[in-house]
Amino acid sequence: MRTQVAIVGAGPAGLVLSHLLHLRGIESVVVERRSREYVEKRVRAGVLEQGTVDLLRSIGVSDGLDRDGLPHHGIELLFDGVSHRVPLSDLSGGRAITIYGQQRVVSDLTEARLAAGGQIFFSADEVSVDVAVPRVSFTHDGQRVELDCDFIAGCDGFHGSCRDELPGATVYEREYPFAWLGILADVAPSNDELIYANTDRGFALLSLRSPTVSRLYLQVDPAEELAAWSDERVWDELQSRLAHDGWSLKEGPVLEKTITPMRSFVCEPMQHGRLFLAGDAAHIVPPTGAKGLNLAIHDVHVLASAMEDWYATGRSTGLDSYSATCLRRVWRVQHFSWWMTSMLHNFPGDDPFERRLQRSQLEYVVSSPAAATTLAENYVGLRWS
């Protein structure tokens, strides 16, 4: 087979890139190791920045988002038993976040690509990449496929193989000494906006996925076993950490329960020859700032524009500078996510000095318009250049 751009990975990054290229008249083929059912049901982040929402609307895949997405114009910071609202939109020129599950984004994009005649090979086995040719090889329905192309986009996630093809890449990584225990619950959200809680018992987050489904998280030790956390224990701990005057947490059946380790990770550069990494293949952020999906979408926005310029004019300026362009935003997001994580979580040892620093930072954020504005403009997403 032959195409212009071979894309490894049918997550948000790979599918958005394929659709962006299609709208620019550039052919692509997407190769995905998992089944379509698995990819579309995989529950991940559900907080979309303003820039991500604007892009999805601009490429015509926002019907579900506009119908079912839940715009949020603020978040709450809870500490010392008192909740403080940060008015995101008021502090960021009207920009907002929208709650819309990643699995919904993936499903919408998959339908759009297939409706436009796009090729997506789900359940591909033995996927390998040859940057020198360039070529992506894989087995599908028992047949070996050699897919020659002009460029390869590695959108295959943190555990994918494309990153292994970057010789001499520098890796920056930090493992955090805690994890998130997350539940999906069949109960209406207990609050109209997200609540981030810093408590002596550890961090907690009240989020949501729809008007009838809640998403909640607890800070736990990364060595914790799910079997140790009965539904009753989870709800008891959530009740304790999220409690504050004049408010109560609604409980309901737990639909899903997971424990997710937390890390920061960056691979530099994000390109080698005709191979370009995007999304989790190149960088991971802790989920505290809700940035992973949004950062991936920005990557492919930059890459699609650079490829369009190359096909239209032969200029390689955008492709040559792809990694440097993306990494400027990657490191800004890394810092914001680290800052949110450090401000809200308990670290091992229960260091009283660290706790006092956290308290000082939280008090400053909720009392200083300048500090609150810094949080707001990073949380809704810095404007795309």
Residues 6+ apart with CB under 8 A from 341: 176, 262, 286, 288, 289
Residue 287 φ then ψ, to 5°: -75, -5
Using DSSP, state whether 379 is helix, strand or coil: helix
Residue 324: CB atoms within 10 A of its CB come to 12
Find the mean pLDDT for residues 23-39: 96
What is the chain's mean pLDDT, rounded? Answer: 96
- Residue 222: inside a domain: no
- Distance in angstroms (rounded) separating the CA atoms of residues 323 and 299: 9
Is 140 marked active-site? no
Is 32 among the domain residues?
Answer: yes
- Using an 8 Å Cβ cutoff, are 285 and 295 in contact? yes
What is the number of other CB atoms lying within 10 angstroms of the CB of residue 170? 9
From 19, 72, 283, 301, the catalytic residue:
72
Q: Is residue 316 part of a domain?
A: yes
State yes or no: is 322 an active-site residue: no
Q: What pLDDT score was predicted for residue 46?
A: 84
Residue range 133-192, pLDDT digits in tens:
999 999 999 999 999 999 999 999 999 999 999 999 999 999 999 999 999 999 999 999
Whole-number pLDDT of residue 349 = 84
State the pTM of this model.
0.95
Count CA atoms closer than 13 A to 78's CA, side-chain side: 23
Is 12 assigned a catalytic role? no
List residues bridging with 70 in a β-sheet.
99
Sign of CA dihedral 342, 343, 347, 349: positive
Residue 11 domain boundaries: 5-71+96-172+263-347
Residue 45 has pLDDT above 80, yes or no: no
- Chain segment 190-215, per-residue pLDDT in tens: 999 999 999 999 999 999 988 999 99
Select the more confidently predicted residue: 349 or 60: 60
Catalytic residue among 19, 22, 272, 291: 291
Residue 319 placed within a domain: yes
The beta-strand segments (E) located in the chain are 5-8, 28-31, 47-48, 70-72, 75-79, 82-86, 97-99, 119-121, 125-130, 135-140, 143-148, 151-154, 170-185, 195-198, 204-208, 214-220, 254-268, 271-272, 275-277, 283-284
Closest of 307, 334, 381 to residue 54, by C-alpha? 381
Query: Nearest-CA neighbor of 299 among 273, 274, 318?
Result: 318
User: How many domains would you assign to the chain?
Assistant: 1
Condensed to tens digits (0 to 9), the pLDDT of residues 259-273 reads: 999 999 999 999 999
Predicted confidence band of residue 13 (pLDDT cuts 50, 70, 90):
very high
CA distance 379 to 51: 11
278 and 271 Cβ atoms separated by less than 8 Å: no
Known catalytic membership, residue 379 = yes
Mean predicted confidence (pLDDT) in 101-130? 95
Whole-number Cα distances in Å, 255 to 38, 242, 359: 17, 20, 34
Among the options 100, 176, 196, 217, which is catalytic?
196
Assigned domain for 30 exists:
yes
Over residues 81-98, the pLDDT tens digits come to 999 999 999 999 999 999
217 catalytically annotated: no
Q: Considering 12, 189, 286, 287, which one is annotated as catalytic? A: 287
What is the SS3 assignment for 241-303?
HHCCCCCCCCCCCEEEEEEEEEEEEEEECCEECCEEECHHHCEECCHHHCCHHHHHHHHHHHH
Q: How far apart are CA 78 and CA 74, in angstroms?
A: 13
The predicted structure's pLDDT at residue 350: 75
Q: Report, as an integer, the average pLDDT of 281-289.
A: 95
Q: Does the structure show a pLDDT above 90 at 43?
A: no
Q: What percent of the chain has pLDDT over 90?
A: 93
Q: Virtual CA dihedral for 46, 52, 58, 60, nearest 10 degrees?
A: -20
Count of C-beta atoms within a 10 Å radius of residue 368: 11
Structure tokens, 243: 């409690």
- Give a yes or no: residue 326 inside a domain: yes
For the stretch 241-251, pLDDT in tens is 999 988 999 99
User: Does some domain include residue 250?
Assistant: no
Evaluate whether residue 85 is within a structural domain.
no
Helices 369-379 and 322-344, packing angle to 10 deg? 130
Q: State the CATH number of the domain containing residue 40.
A: 3.50.50.60
